[in-house]
Amino acid sequence: MLNQSTVGVGQKPRAWDRLSISTKQIVWAWTFLAVPILFFSVVRFYPTAEAFYLSLTDWDFLRPASFIGLENYRTLLADPLFWQVFRNTFTYLLIGTPISIVLSFVIAYYLDRIEFGHAFIRALYFLPFLTTAAAMAWVWRWFYQPPPIGIINSLLGMFGLPAQPFLRSVDQGLPAIMATAIWAGLGFQIIIFLAGLRAIPATYHEAARVDGLGEFAILRKITLPLLKPTTIFLVVFSSIGFLRIFDQVYNMTSNDPGGPLNTTKPLVLMIYQTAFSSYQMGYASAQTVVLFLILFAISMGQLWILRSR
């Protein structure tokens, strides 16, 4: 019998009142989800779709965009600067990611065994991650300066070693910037590895020691396999970070963005210069689409690896 407080006498129940509780819960859930969906549609999905469209046009802010098909992509594939930048970007990725993952795991593995001062040491490692990338880049740029300004070259001089050009060298520029990027992200990766190590039940290690396994065997047969989801996450996170590296390169080589002969220039910096220095928005959009496809492939690879478990 219908409650007269909600439905008047002789009045049919409203459509909302006729819905079941489970249906009402679904409606409320989608009502609350509508806000983030609308946000991502406006801030994320629409600009992405617009970038795909602009990559097929010729647009320089001065006149309306004109459709030119795949001409931007043909120009991109024939551009020697793009292939040099592409190599630079994957050099950051293929060298920086393994070094950062191995280094952060080793530090986290031994830091996990420290009892005295553990929280303080962990905070010291995490502090660079909280500092802005631009500030860190300028500090490291100061470190790399020639003597007597640069600290690193001053230390080399104390040991009788010659000063190094670092950022002014076509051979040392990219490794110098890569070292800064690895150092900047090390704290976050250490914290995540520490969380993964603490999540492994201690009984597994105790049982392995009872069975006579040594520390290296426990690390290889128990710790590393159980850390696989954590490692995959950090590999993907670090890979995306190196593929999108920009702040360190732009601030450390501000006098000559991209370093001498573009030896340190990554793809994101090329996109920035093409769009806001040359005002070739269509060509910059084509470069953005290429970067998006690379990031998308890595993300899908992550999902495939996790599903294969």
pLDDT one digit per residue (tens) for the chain, 309 residues:
444 444 555 555 677 777 788 887 888 888 888 888 888 888 888 888 999 999 999 998 888 899 999 999 999 999 999 999 999 999 999 999 999 999 999 999 999 988 888 888 888 888 888 888 889 999 999 999 998 899 999 999 999 999 999 999 999 999 999 999 999 999 999 999 999 999 999 899 889 888 888 889 999 999 999 999 899 889 989 999 999 999 999 999 978 889 999 999 999 999 999 999 999 999 999 999 999 999 889 878 877 876 665
Q: What is the pLDDT of residue 67?
A: 95
pLDDT of residue 13: 63
Q: Is 216 exposed, middle or buried (0-12, 13-18, 19+ CB in 10 A)?
A: exposed
CATH superfamily of 79-307: MetI-like (1.10.3720.10)
* pLDDT of res. 5: 47
pLDDT value of position 8? 52
Cα 1 to Cα 6, 9, 13, 20, 225, distances in angstroms? 12, 11, 11, 16, 61
pLDDT score, position 125? 87
What integer pLDDT is reported at residue 4 of this predicted model?
46
**For position 75, what pLDDT does the model report?**
96
Q: What is the pLDDT of residue 197?
A: 94
CA gap 89, 267 in Å, rounded: 6
Distance CA 4, CA 69 (A): 65
* pLDDT at site 192: 95
Q: What is the pLDDT of residue 241?
A: 93
Please write down the HEC assignment for all residues of the chain: CCCCCCCCCCCCCCHHHHCCHHHHHHHHHHHHHHHHHHHHHHHHHHHHHHHHHHCCEECCCCCCCEECCCHHHHHHHCCHHHHHHHHHHHHHHHHHHHHHHHHHHHHHHHHCCCCCCHHHHHHHHHHHHHCCHHHHHHHHHHHCCCCCCCHHHHHHHHCCCCCCCHHHCCCCHHHHHHHHHHHHHHHHHHHHHHHHHHHCCHHHHHHHHHCCCCHHHHHHHHHHHHCHHHHHHHHHHHHHHHHCCCHHHHHHCCCCCCCHHHCCCCHHHHHHHHHHCCCCHHHHHHHHHHHHHHHHHHHHHHHHHHHCC
pLDDT at 1: 42
* pLDDT for res 22: 84
